[in-house]
Amino acid sequence: MFQSTFRDRKNLSVVFFAVVIALLSLPSAFAQGAGYWHTNGNQILDSNNQTVRIAGVNWYGFETTDEIAHGLWAQDYHTVLSQVKSNGYNVIRIPFSNQMVETPVVPTNFSQNNGSPINTDLVGLNAVQILDKIITAAGADGLRVILDNHRSEAGNSNEANGLWYTSAYPETAWINDWKTLASRYKSFTDASGNPVVIGMDLRNEPHLSPSNTGSCWTGDTTTSGCPTSNTAQNWPAAATRAGNAILGVNPNLLIFVEGNDCYSGDCGWQGGNLKGVASNPVVLSAANHVVYSAHDYGPNLFAQSWFNSSTSFASLSAVWNKFWGYISTNNTAPVWVGEFGTTNNATDIQNSVAGSQGQWFQSLVNFLQNNPSLNWTYWALNGEDSYALLNNSYSGIASSTKQSLLATIQFPLGGGGSSPNYSLASSPGSVTVNQGGNGTSTITVTASGGFTGSVALSASGLPSGVTASFSPASTTSSSTLTLSASSTAATGSSTVTITGTNGSLSHTTTLALTVSSTTSANFSLAASPTSVTVNQGASGTSTISVTRTGGFAGAVSFTASGVPTGVTASFNPATTSTTGTSSVMTLSASSTATVGAFTVTVTGTSGTLSHTTALTLTVTAASSGTGGVTLTPLVGQSSPWFNEEDLRMANTGTLTALSVTIVVQRTTGISFGGQYNTLGAQITQGNSSTSTAVTYTFTLKSGQTVGTGTNWTFAAQTSGTGTAHATTGDTYTMNYTTGGQSFTQTGHF
């Protein structure tokens, strides 16, 4: 038994040591990012099916007429690459032109000495040979490379025609150049045998606008559906041809396909519109090699319609999800934000002002934090660029604030000697709380490079009346952030910055906070006057006022109920504007309207909101067979008179008594100049001549009788430079006797 047990243990030991030796003999076999990369759903995986994230920079220059990476006039290319690595980036996107590939020049725009010898091994080499050197050195630093066909002829920016070819460099040349590069760099590996060039970005920023003669995407209704038979414009069909040609040379490469700018009339950034993928994706001869690429920029580059006073993290996220984010969310394919960048001005990096460059940049970083399946490369590394990551001498980071934000979304590759580090992310990235309430977001700490420490969390940028607490306050994994608003907290939108600290390591993430008022948007109604008397055959008015609360900004429509038979109600206006505050209701009684006192209810409606106010309507009877009295002001006459053009009264009976009191408005600089009698009326002024609202009383002279059908005009002599006349809202009261009966009629003009 002893011998048997010993033998079994001995055999197990042999197996154990054999496994250990086998593992030790393959030091990079399980390093994250090993080998060629491929796709699975929305993820990029390495050769061991471990998830990797492209988190890199753009280093341009080869596509320009210099045909060499820029900055080598200041630093050795090894120094520049070392800074890329030491600052946490894992991939370099290198733009080039077809002209550089086919007829490379011997570049001269680099230095051989900056106090010490630099770039000496580049002397006499042509552009492609210098590219070989940089790719080799990048691999030695543990970096990967994506080659980007930026344009056809050497020059700056993208190709103006929006296509993947020009007359000098037709599609055949474009594809052949890709095959040349795929073959050339197939053998470039690092010390662990990992390929350095892992993918090809087929064409930089294809675009359709402005004349619809550039690149279109299959299904685009503005270009007759952009059929694949339209070989001159159909970009995804051309990408398929080029992608298959590249895979025919090296079947392991990733193929990056950028969007264009417009799809069926919906336009965004050049290279940033991938809406067509939903119905017409790119399908290559080999599966799991397509990565879609979008470019995105802020209002400093162009004031897109989504940059305005209402811009928020949520509205920006909606734009990104519409154009390209949905591809990742739907698990269709990986998405790579190949270009985005901002200046080194502090407010262009972080800002809470709606529609600003800083709001866009920190929101995009936050979006990438919250969606770790998304890949990215910052534009640009170049120190001379307005969006520079390095300083002008290529000797260090230009903005530590920007670098700190980008560090939160980095992804060090295993086996590359990366330092222990971590990043922060908030989920959700947008929180809304009411005054007196609270909301939460989970802050996640993601470790990298063997980081094992605890991260202390704090919050800044809180609006007045809002406090933040973390549970726990320090964490190695995640913490719940609670944002509590007092009953008087400042309302509106703001950006809250969460900072994590561990020793000298400090990183941030942000979230959008909206504090809402507990007073919901609403309105109320009131009537003035609340009592209206009208005679049969006459009318009266009441002003319906709208009082708005809680930021209510709706239009209010009016109706009236409870009016007696023969009376109609009308409103001017029938519906207020979104800021309107009143409407004049006119109650008109026919000659046969039902007499008596009635409660009229006015209802105001705006969407689901509905409120009422009430007034008393009294309808009085007209004298039998002798008719009534009407009072007609003609408002707004520019005359220093309150005269026959301003007020006219007609009667259809015989008046034996009449007294009319009317309050009229006037401008300053006018005074009452005595009295003026017309048709037997005595006119007096009832208040100070300095008042802007003047009461006039018109009284029928004693013993005066006026026959049926007489039209009366009243005039009051005035002096000065102003005007006096009846205006909307002025009041009148008429007491008159006709047909042996006495009546009182009141109303508004």
Q: How confident is the model at residue 418 (pLDDT cuts 50, 70, 90)?
A: very low
- Average the pLDDT over 48-68 and give the result: 97
Task: Round to whole Å and give the CA distance between 208 and 586.
Answer: 59
Return the percentage of the chain with pLDDT > 70, whole number.
79
Domain boundary among the residues 467, 484, 516 is at: 516
Whether residue 744 sits in one domain with residue 704: yes
H or E element at residue 91:
strand 91-97
- What pLDDT does residue 517 have? 81
Residue 281 falls inside a structural domain: yes
Catalytic site includes residue 384? no
The first and second tokens of residue 121, run together, are 């091994």
- What pLDDT does residue 553 have? 87
Task: Round to whole Å and give the CA distance between 466 and 515.
Answer: 9
User: Tokens 């700190």 belong to which residue?
Assistant: 404
Whether residue 433 sits in one domain with residue 398: no
Residue 410 pLDDT > 50 = yes
Number of domain units in the chain: 4
The answer to whether 402 and 410 are in contact (CB under 8 A) is: no
User: Tokens 């045998």 belong to which residue?
Assistant: 193
Whether residue 585 sits in one domain with residue 639: no
Whether residue 230 sits in one domain with residue 348: yes
Whether residue 287 sits in one domain with residue 167: yes
Q: Find the CATH number of the domain harbouring 736.
A: 2.60.40
Catalytic site includes residue 205? yes
Whether residue 130 sits in one domain with residue 48: yes
Q: Among 63, 159, 205, 258, which one carries the catalytic annotation? A: 205
Return the percentage of the chain with pLDDT > 90, whole number.
64
Whether residue 97 sits in one domain with residue 222: yes
Whether residue 280 sits in one domain with residue 187: yes
Whether residue 304 sits in one domain with residue 179: yes
Whether residue 310 sits in one domain with residue 195: yes
Q: In this predicted model, which residue has the larger pLDDT, 694 or 55? A: 55
- What pLDDT does residue 730 have? 64
- Average the pLDDT over 612-625 and give the result: 78
Query: Hey, which of 229-243, 427-441, 684-698 has the most confident mean pLDDT?
Result: 229-243
- Average the pLDDT over 93-98 and give the result: 98
The overall longest dimension of the chain from CA atoms, in Å, is: 149
Q: Find the CATH number of the domain harbouring 430.
A: 2.60.40.10
Terminal C-alpha separation, the chain: 120
Residue 78 falls inside a structural domain: yes
Q: Among 63, 159, 258, 339, which one carries the catalytic annotation? A: 339
Whether residue 236 sits in one domain with residue 384: yes
Residue 2 falls inside a structural domain: no
Q: How confident is the model at residue 9 (pLDDT cuts 50, 70, 90)?
A: very low
DSSP letter string over 55-81? EEEE---TTSTT-S-TTTTTS-HHHHH
Q: What confidence tens digit (pLDDT) does each residue in 229-271 have?
A: 999 999 999 999 999 999 999 999 999 999 999 999 999 999 9
Residue 51 falls inside a structural domain: yes
Domain boundary among the residues 620, 652, 681 is at: 620
Residue 30 falls inside a structural domain: no
Residue 11 falls inside a structural domain: no
Across all residues in the chain, what is the average pLDDT?
85
- What pLDDT does residue 3 have? 34
Residue 724 falls inside a structural domain: yes
Put residue 415 in one of left, alpha, beta given phi > 0 → left and psi -120 to 50 → alpha. left
Residue 10 falls inside a structural domain: no
Domain boundary among the residues 491, 516, 541 is at: 516
Q: In this predicted model, which residue has the larger pLDDT, 713 or 434? A: 434
Q: Range of 539's domain?
A: 522-620
Residue 175 pLDDT > 80 = yes
Closest to 43 measured CA to CA, from 281, 374, 295: 374
Whether residue 602 sits in one domain with residue 508: no
- Please list, residue by residue across 623-636, b when 16 or more beta carbons sit within 10 angstroms of its beta carbon and e when fewer do: beebbbbbbebeee
Cβ atoms within 10 A of the Cβ of 471, count? Answer: 11
- What pLDDT does residue 719 have? 53
Q: Find the CATH number of the domain harbouring 77.
A: 3.20.20.80
